[in-house]
Amino acid sequence: MARSQTVIIAALISNVAIAVSKFVAAAMTGSSAMLAEGLHSLVDTGNSIMLWWGVRRSKRPAHARHPFGHGKELYFWSFVVAVWMFSVGGVVSIYAGVGKILRPEESRDLIWNYIVMAVALVSTLYSLRVAMCEKHSRVGKTSVIDFIRHSKDPTVFTVIVEEVSDVAGVLIALAAILLSHVLHQPAIDGAGELPSAWS
């Protein structure tokens, strides 16, 4: 359980740093994709906090009202994270993307977007590596799908799924920012956020 917390803390630190840097870049460049990515990272930060909370609550000892302990809280909070990730994260991305498509506006100082997205990608890959190392230490070279099916600790595979989706989201947003700049079509910036609603 302590190693699960290490994975969660690594994801939390990564998400906070990425969210702050994305919001700064969005303010400086006016990029819709960057703003939505910042909001997405904020949702991911909330996910990490909820997972950490679930681990803490699951460790509470049994008592008269809960004679079998609180271990199931771990599963409950992992479920809340999954719902939060796909509903709130998706709504935020769709809102920002549609807004940019309806009111396209050229982004400025794009170098900030590229720097922040590169930092976000490296940071997310590091957090994913920490989670994958923990997976390997538990089950060896078993596939992630088998690990998800058979693991009794949902925190590590929740972080793995979240970080994989974040890598996909960063790559989609980066491609949208690049294409909108090269083609001088700011609506592409907003369109790039729609697929990341499910990432």
- Per-residue pLDDT tens for 108-148? 667 887 888 888 899 889 989 998 888 888 888 888 888 87
> Domain range spanning residue 150?
2-198
Contact between residue 135 and residue 4 where contact means Cβ atoms under 8 Å apart: no
Locate 157 and state its tokens: 């595979």
Mean pLDDT of all residues belonging to the chain:
80
pLDDT digits (tens, 9 = 90+) for 81-117: 777 777 776 777 777 777 777 777 766 667 887 888 8
d(CA 142, CA 26): 40
DSSP of 150-186, one letter per residue? H-S-HHHHHHHHHHHHHHHHHHHHHHHHHHHHHHT-H
Residue 196 has pLDDT above 80, yes or no: no
Which of helix, strand or coil describes residue 129? helix
d(CA 100, CA 181): 14
Assign residue 71 the CATH number of its domain. 1.20.1510
DSSP 5: H
Locate 59 and state its tokens: 């460790």
Closest CA to 59 of 160, 159, 157, 153: 153
Residue with tokens 């740093």: 17
**Percentage above 90 pLDDT, the chain:** 3
Say what the pLDDT of residue 125 is.
92
Which of helix, strand or coil describes residue 75? helix
Mean pLDDT across the stretch 22-37?
77
- In total, how many domains does the chain have? 1
Contact between residue 126 and residue 10 where contact means Cβ atoms under 8 Å apart: yes
Closest CA to 108 of 30, 189, 178: 30
Task: Pick the range with the lowest mean pLDDT from 6-10, 66-70, 145-149, 160-164.
Answer: 66-70
pTM of the entire predicted model: 0.74
The dihedral region occupied by 167, where left means phi > 0, alpha psi between -120 and 50, and beta the remainder, is alpha
